[in-house]
């Protein structure tokens, strides 16, 4: 079955305020190479710029260590950038905020709480009244296909189910942006494909803007509207690739047979692998 998603508003909607604006963001870490050794600066990101619009899934892809997670954490507000600007819906990012939800590689659920109580956690911090909290958590667990498991504890759930709870928890605070850092990489191939498809369905229903970090070229091409290919040392934007498959893209096994898919895959592969020869 094909997944129909609303078309993103980039390009055709010039008047739209981007959900996320990243402008010339740079970051260096001070690293020490041993005890009693002087420290030096490791330039991780250099002048990174891109935007993401409503309904868009934008993937960040690049070789290991090119700064994908660092960039995502800067957007999250957990790491302070050295230079450049970041804004979510036009508001400068100065730290973590409820306008950004996060899904990690490991869902890190609280083991003593049920699936529903895990989803409610962020809403408790926002002091939402209990009945409203519970209603929203139940709705979100339905949305992610876990309506039947709301009262189960994390150890009773499979890895894929736990990741669905993590997604519901991130959506609970109704963020403008959903930041996902290799959310499916710890799952087996079959569960991963199911969740990729589910993510497209959920995005179509919620119209979220998603920034998605992955190593997996096929995953990036299947999920994304645009792919930001990062170069390494320092991390910088090498190319922004518009994915042409539209909102009614076939499932990944079929898409893999599309010559355009294969061409783009080869192109991204070349962009990523080229840099190691320089």
Ligand X SMILES: Nc1ncnc2c1ncn2[C@@H]1O[C@H](COP(=O)(O)OP(=O)(O)OP(=O)(O)O)[C@@H](O)[C@H]1O
Which residues of the chain form contacts with ligand X (CB under 6 A)?
Answer: 29, 31, 42, 44, 62, 64-70, 215
Is the Cβ of residue 68 or residue 238 nearer to ligand X in the bound state? 68
Minimum distance of ligand X from residue 215's CB (angstroms): 6
Minimum distance of ligand X from residue 51's CB (angstroms): 20
Minimum distance of ligand X from residue 233's CB (angstroms): 8
Is the Cβ of residue 139 or residue 216 nearer to ligand X in the bound state? 216
Minimum distance of ligand X from residue 207's CB (angstroms): 27
Q: Give the DSSP per-residue string, the chain.
A: --EE-PPP-TTT-TTSPPSEEEEEEEEEEEEE-STTPPEEEEEEEEEEEEEE-TT-EEEEE-STTSSHHHHHHHHHTSS--SEEEEEETTEEP-S--TTEEEE-SS----TTS-HHHHHHHHHHHTT--HHHHHHHHHHHHHHTT-GGGTT--GGGS-HHHHHHHHHHHHHHT--SEEEEESTTTTS-HHHHHHHHHHHHHHHHHH--EEEEE-S-HHHHHHH-SEEEEEETTTBEEEEEEE-TT-SEEPPHHHHTT-HHHHHHHHHHHHHHHHGGG-
Is the Cβ of residue 67 or residue 166 nearer to ligand X in the bound state? 67
Minimum distance of ligand X from residue 44's CB (angstroms): 4
- CA dist 172 and 101 (Å) reads 8
Is the Cβ of residue 172 or residue 180 nearer to ligand X in the bound state? 180
Is the Cβ of residue 44 or residue 109 nearer to ligand X in the bound state? 44
Minimum distance of ligand X from residue 195's CB (angstroms): 19
Is the Cβ of residue 77 or residue 145 nearer to ligand X in the bound state? 77
């Amino acid at each position: 079955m094909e997944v129909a998603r609303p078309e993103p508003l980039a390009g055709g909607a010039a008047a739209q305020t981007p959900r996320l604006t990243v402008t010339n963001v740079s970051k260096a870490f001070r690293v020490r190479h041993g005890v009693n050794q002087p420290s030096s600066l490791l330039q991780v990101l250099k002048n990174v710029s891109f935007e993401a619009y409503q309904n868009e899934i934008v993937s960040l892809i690049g070789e290991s260590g090119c700064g994908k997670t660092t960039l995502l954490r800067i957007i999250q507000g957990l790491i302070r950038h050295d230079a450049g600007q970041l804004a979510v819906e036009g508001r400068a990012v100065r730290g973590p905020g409820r306008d950004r939800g996060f899904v990690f590689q490991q869902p890190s659920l609280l083991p003593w709480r049920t699936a529903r109580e895990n989803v409610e956690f962020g809403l408790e911090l926002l002091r939402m009244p209990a009945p409203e909290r519970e209603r929203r958590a139940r709705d979100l667990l339905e949305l992610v296909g876990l309506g039947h498991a709301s009262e189960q504890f994390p150890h009773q759930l499979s890895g894929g189910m736990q990741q669905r709870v993590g997604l519901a928890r991130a959506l609970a605070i109704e963020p403008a942006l959903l930041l996902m850092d290799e959310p499916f990489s710890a799952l087996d191939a079959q569960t991963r494909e199911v969740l990729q498809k589910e993510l497209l369905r959920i995005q179509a229903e919620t119209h979220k803007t998603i920034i998605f970090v992955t190593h997996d070229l096929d995953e990036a091409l299947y999920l994304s509207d645009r792919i930001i290919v990062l170069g390494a040392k320092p991390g910088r934007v090498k190319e922004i690739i518009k994915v042409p498959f539209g909102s009614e893209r076939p499932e990944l096994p079929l898409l893999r047979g599309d010559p355009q898919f294969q061409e783009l895959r080869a192109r991204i592969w070349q962009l990523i692998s080229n840099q190691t020869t320089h």
